[in-house]
């Protein structure tokens, strides 16, 4: 029976298969095969023996059952796999794992898993960016209330929100491309990184192994790859998760009954509450917010794993067995959920308009202040005047236009007939449309 939710609830079957035990063992065997071939090429073992080891390095021949049987006896997973591979390699088995240390195999196999996992993450990330740009274009002229500190501010457009989000995710695509060369790295350098067991041929052995596996070789390592690489990867996931949480939280807030400007998709037979039939809870966005906490926690753990003693200790190992697959599966689930929610987001422009009018023009006071300054009033005096008029409008529960129209200081600079146009939110959107179009144009190439 599954225990951890990533075994059944989060992440795709494709991503889960990358981190299954069977896949992990096969990738370790792939590294052993690449090592045998490299050793043969530099003349350290016979080519026929290397060919036999490579031929035997299949999970269909080296059974998981046998690896696990040996592991119970020796309490060492890598040595159990090495022993099982040696058994099925016949006489050639005497050369299996020659000169290597466990983490030559483990770290390099992990890099292979990471590469496959990042291929999925990258595809989803680019798809999410594409959705954000599509929505930015669709809603570039959809006016709505801007909010700062939870209060109504000057108007903005819904498209601007998406353009801002898209810019952030464009940076995430760039970050992913930048970190790949630092993360997709393997090592084959022996017990403390000197490659001493290969008699001066260690660097050639490592180079040949990594060429076979299409990974970059670590320029220097001790018994393990240094964990700043994994810390960077999972910290990147933390950034990505936080950006998705920010969007999800915004949707949750805009879906509040009192605001009602958007709604995440709601299926025909979907149930919001077990007791309140009317409920349409934004549970997908809430799930995103919840999982982001786990990812950020994993980033902290990955940073702790950077600090190891001497040429290595084992305090990172058990932790990484948890945080690496967990982070990949959860971040993928968050990406796919974000794509679905934003792709099918329900938007209520009429409610946006109604909310825009709730303050009866108060959120347009800046426009009047700017116009007063433009026509000659001291900016600070204009600010004070609008504060006074706004306070009167609030106390008297009147539109700001009514208060401004009867104020002699205001009408001295701005005729009453001009005030109404200045208080029109549609006339105070600045460069919003142009900004959206520029963002879409510049980020479109990153969606491919």
C-alpha to C-alpha distance for 160 and 176, rounded to whole angstroms? 24
Residues 6+ apart with CB under 8 A from 434: none
Both 228 and 310 in a single domain? yes
Examine the pLDDT at 82 and tell me if it is beyond 80: yes
Same domain for 162 and 254, yes or no, is yes
- Quick one: pLDDT at residue 81? 97
Question: Does 290 lie in the same domain as 387?
Answer: no
Q: Which domain holds residue 70?
A: 5-95
Whether the pLDDT of residue 247 is over 90: the answer is: yes
Whether 384 maps to a domain, the answer reads yes
Residues 253 and 311 in one domain: yes
Query: Is residue 442 included in any domain, yes or no?
Result: no
- With bands split at pLDDT 50, 70 and 90, how would you rate the model's confidence at 270? confident
Nearest CA to 172 among 125, 116, 111, 234? Answer: 125
Out of 298, 322, 355, pick the residue that ends a domain. 355
Considering the candidates 4, 17, 76, 273, report the single residue annotated as catalytic. 273
Query: Quick check: is 122 in a domain?
Result: yes
For residue 435, what pLDDT band results from cuts at 50, 70 and 90?
very high
273 is catalytic: yes
Average pLDDT of the residues in 403-424:
95
Residue 302 has pLDDT above 80, yes or no: yes
Together in a domain, 366 and 350? no
Angle, in degrees to the nearest 10, between helices 202-213 and 102-138: 40
Q: Which residues contact 278 (CB under 8 A, 6 or more apart)?
A: 272
Is 151 inside a domain boundary?
no
Does 88 fall in a domain? yes
Please check whether residues 291 and 338 belong to one and the same domain. yes
**Which of 66, 95, 124 represents a domain boundary (last residue)?**
95
The pLDDT-based confidence of 160 (bands split at 50, 70, 90) is very high
Q: What is the mean pLDDT of residues 25-36?
A: 98
Residue 149 is a catalytic residue: yes
Q: What is the CATH number of the domain that holds 379?
A: 1.10.40.30
When mean pLDDT is compared across 21-30, 271-280, 308-317, the lowest value belongs to 271-280
Mean pLDDT of the chain: 96
Q: Are residues 77 and 28 in the same domain?
A: yes
**Nearest one of 82, 80, 306, 102 to 189, comparing CA atoms:** 102
Which of these is catalytic: 4, 12, 149, 216? 149
Same domain, 135 and 226: yes
Q: Given pLDDT bands bounded at 50, 70 and 90, which one contains residue 373?
A: very high
The whole-number pLDDT of residue 6 equals: 83
Percent of the chain residues past pLDDT 70, beyond the cut: 100
The pLDDT assigned to 347 comes to 97
pLDDT at 1 over 80: no
Residue 227: inside a domain, yes or no? yes
Predicted pLDDT of residue 69 = 96
What would the mean pLDDT of 436-444 be, rounded to a whole number?
98
- The number of domains in the chain is 3
How confident is the model over 174-187, as a mean pLDDT?
98
Q: What is the pTM of this model?
A: 0.94
Average pLDDT over residues 179-205: 97
Residues 48 and 122 in one domain: no
Whether residue 268 is predicted with pLDDT greater than 90 in this model: the reply is no
Same domain, 301 and 378: no
- Residue range 379-397: mean pLDDT, rounded: 97
The answer to whether 95 touches 57, Cβ cutoff 8 Å, is no
Does position 241 have pLDDT exceeding 80, yes or no?
A: yes
Is residue 273 very low, low, confident or very high in pLDDT (cuts 50, 70, 90)?
confident
The CATH number linked to 67 is 1.10.275.10
Question: 272 lies in a domain?
Answer: no
Query: What pairs with residue 157 in β-bridges?
Result: 143
Residues 422, 319 within the same domain: no
Q: pLDDT for 415-425, tens place per residue?
A: 988 999 999 99
pLDDT-derived band at 271, boundaries 50, 70, 90: confident
User: Which sign does the torsion angle of CA 195, 201, 203, 209 carry?
Assistant: negative
Helices (H), 57-201: 64-74, 77-88, 102-138, 158-183
- Using the 3D structure, point to which of 355, 373, 405 is the last residue of a domain: 355
Is the pLDDT at 198 greater than 80, yes or no?
yes
As a whole number of angstroms, the distance between CA 156 and CA 154 comes to 7
443 pLDDT band, cuts 50/70/90, is: very high
Question: Which one, of 372, 428, 389, 401, lies nearest residue 143 by Cα?
Answer: 428
Q: Is residue 439 part of a domain?
A: no
Q: Is the pLDDT of residue 253 over 80?
A: yes
Clarify whether residues 344 and 230 are in a common domain: yes
In this structure, of 183-187, 213-217, 280-284, 379-383, the range with the lowest mean pLDDT score is 280-284
């Amino acid at each position: 029976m599954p225990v951890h939710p990533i075994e059944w609830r989060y992440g795709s079957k494709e991503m889960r298969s990358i981190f299954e035990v069977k896949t992990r063992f096969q990738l370790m065997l792939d590294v052993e095969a690449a090592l045998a071939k490299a050793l043969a090429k530099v003349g350290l073992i016979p080519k026929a023996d290397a060919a036999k080891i490579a031929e035997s390095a299949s999970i269909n021949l080296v059974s998981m059952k046998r690896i696990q049987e040996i592991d119970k006896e020796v309490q060492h997973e890598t040595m159990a796999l090495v022993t099982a591979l040696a058994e099925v390699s016949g006489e050639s088995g005497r050369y299996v794992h020659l000169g290597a240390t466990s983490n030559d195999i483990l770290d390099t196999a992990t890099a292979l898993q990471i590469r496959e996992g990042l291929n999925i993450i990258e595809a989803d990330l680019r798809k999410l960016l594409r959705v954000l740009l599509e929505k930015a274009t669709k809603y570039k002229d959809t006016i709505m209330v801007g909010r700062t500190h939870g209060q109504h501010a000057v108007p903005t457009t819904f498209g601007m929100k998406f353009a801002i989000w898209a810019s952030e995710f464009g940076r995430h695509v760039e970050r992913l491309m930048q970190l790949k060369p630092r993360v997709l790295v393997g090592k084959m350098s022996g017990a403390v990184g000197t490659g001493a067991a290969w008699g001066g041929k260690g660097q050639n052995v490592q180079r040949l192994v990594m060429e076979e596996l299409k990974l970059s070789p670590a320029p220097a390592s001790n018994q393990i790859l240094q964990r700043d690489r994994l810390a960077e990867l999972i910290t990147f996931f933390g950034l990505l998760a936080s950006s998705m949480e920010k969007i999800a939280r915004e949707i949750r807030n805009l879906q509040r009954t009192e605001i009602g400007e958007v709604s995440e998709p709601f299926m025909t037979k979907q149930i919001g509450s077990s007791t309140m039939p009317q409920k349409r809870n934004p549970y997908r966005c809430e799930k995103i917010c919840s999982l982001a906490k786990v990812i950020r926690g994993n980033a902290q753990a990955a940073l702790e794993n950077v600090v190891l003693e001497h040429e290595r200790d084992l305090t990172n190992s058990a932790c990484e067995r948890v945080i690496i697959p967990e982070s990949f599966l959860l971040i993928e689930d968050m990406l796919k959920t974000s794509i679905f929610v934003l792709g099918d987001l329900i938007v209520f422009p009429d409610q946006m308009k109604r909310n825009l009018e709730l303050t009866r023009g108060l959120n347009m006071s800046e426009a009047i202040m700017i116009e007063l300054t433009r026509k000659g009033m001291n900016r600070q005096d204009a600010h004070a005047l609008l504060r006074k008029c706004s306070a009167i409008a609030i106390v008297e529960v009147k539109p700001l236009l009514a208060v401004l129209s009867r104020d002699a200081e205001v009408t001295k600079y701005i005729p009453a007939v001009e005030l109404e146009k200045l208080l029109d939110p549609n006339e105070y959107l600045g460069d919003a449309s142009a900004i959206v179009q520029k963002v879409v144009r510049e980020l479109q190439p990153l969606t491919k």
